[in-house]
A and B are shown apart, each in its own frame.
With several copies, the nearest count.
Chain A
């Protein structure tokens, strides 16, 4: 493959060498079933449980509070569906609160629950993507069972005040779920410090394997499983264990947390440089997101007058991988629900590009990217009818002023 600059680390990350090394024995010879009683089983079980310990340590949980899943989407479904059906039947609580900027795995699931009779409040955000905690507090009702808010937004990098939300939830006796997918390895994630009841994560966002995730459930808060069958995972998630995925997740999260502060600082510098140059050198651009609180590896920039997919394809041709919105909504022609929720006007919503930096990103990558972005945007604007109209209107305005 020719030299590529991969700036789509929010969509997924490649497997890092240490993870490959950790899983290799389980691909090469250790093929037992962790539930088996014989030596082949016990060897694998030991590694599997060690991986669970690593996940627990990384988020300051206890091992028995960690359930391996096939991905964060499954984890989010488990909390929203499994939890709710359990809670509803026990307590009658049938209202959940979430936000308009959640990942589809929460949002669509909440919408599905809504269709089936659950009451759902989707909290709006302001133009920076920020939540209003007073609004959150006042939307809690007698029958509110669960609040689900993400920790870091996957499109803007916005950081949500989960600790404050946890406090509100606790005061009101409401359970609190966090989608921490984009937070692991980016900002500290400590379930005890935050005080949440559920937390989901997925390995492939921090150099583990796709198809492997974990769900933290505070001890005592378990409700009912999404996937039933065998006795795996203390009856909380049936199915033969994804050993390779879990061992990889254990190693990946251990390294992600260890390297977090240094790597975040490094990426912040690169990200800030990227934004500074683009904002200075490409007119009619702006950063979409919360200037006061974003994780340091994402930059969502809108390039007025041109459409995102066209930018993406041109940069791809130049060897640079970026995205418009989230990968799992590609194929969707609507502008991103996250950007739309921020009351960005539709034309601008179609014009935004997410740059997400990662371990491979260098300063040279950023400078090369800026050069290609400049060229691409000016090319695309050269035949944009929207830009043309804008220029004409500006001319008129100046003419008047003269």
Chain B
């Protein structure tokens, strides 16, 4: 049940942390009873590029590290491209996750999907 160095790095030095000053999309998933809540703040420009992104996470080391990694992976990407980023890719980028953390704590991609689909709905993008 140990974390890889990469996980520990993202956990100890999370990237894109906190709440953006300016954002136009938000996605939140998880709940306290399962122990993980992840909220993404996304600034999407008129070309549908993710200009900036940040996260807030209540959760274990894996939850924080996957949040951090996900933001890094999608920043600067077109939203449709960003939607292709999967949990497995996030875990892979982190050098792997303990089996029992694979699904419960790897929620940032879900949060991103939520943020983007809300954004799309609000802005009439299909």
Contact = CB atoms under 8 A, between A and B. Distances in A.
- A touches B (Cβ under 8 A): yes
Interface of A: 37, 42, 45, 305-310, 313-314, 317, 330-331, 333, 335, 345-347, 350, 382-388
21 contacts: A42-B2, A45-B2, A305-B58, A307-B36, A307-B59, A310-B63, A313-B8, A313-B61, A314-B12, A333-B101, A346-B33, A382-B17, A383-B17, A383-B56, A385-B28, A385-B39, A385-B57, A386-B32, A387-B58, A388-B19, A388-B39
Interface string B56-86: 1111110110000000000000000000000
A291 to B, nearest CB: 25
Contacts of A387: 58
Interface in B18-58: 18-19, 28, 32-39, 55-58
Contact of A333 (B28, B34, B39): B34
Contacts of A37: 1
Contacts of A305: 58
B100 A384 contact: no
The 7 closest A-B pairs by CB, nearest first: A347-B32, A346-B33, A309-B60, A385-B56, A385-B39, A350-B35, A383-B17
B31 to A, nearest CB: 8
Contacts of B2: 42, 45
Interface residues of B, number: 31
B38 A385 contact: yes
Nearest to B32: A347
B35 A333 contact: yes
A317 to B, nearest CB: 6
A384 B57 contact: yes
A37 B100 CA distance: 14
Given A310-B59, A330-B1, A333-B104, A383 B14 contact: yes
B60 A384 contact: no
A386 B58 contact: yes
B17 A309 contact: no
A263 to B, nearest CB: 32
A346 B32 CA distance: 6
B119 interface: no
Nearest to A313: B61
A330 B58 CA distance: 19
A269 to B, nearest CB: 33
Contact of B11 (A42, A313, A350, A385): A313
Contacts of A385: 28, 37-39, 56-58
Nearest to B40: A385
A205 to B, nearest CB: 22
Contacts of A382: 17-18
B35 A383 contact: no
Contacts of B8: 313, 317
The residue in A330, A383, A388 that gathers the most chain B C-beta atoms within 10 A of its C-beta is A383
Given A383-B56, A385-B56, 9 more contacts: A42-B2, A45-B2, A307-B35, A331-B1, A333-B35, A333-B101, A346-B35, A385-B37, A386-B32
Contacts of A346: 32-33, 35
Contacts of B60: 307-310
A240 to B, nearest CB: 16
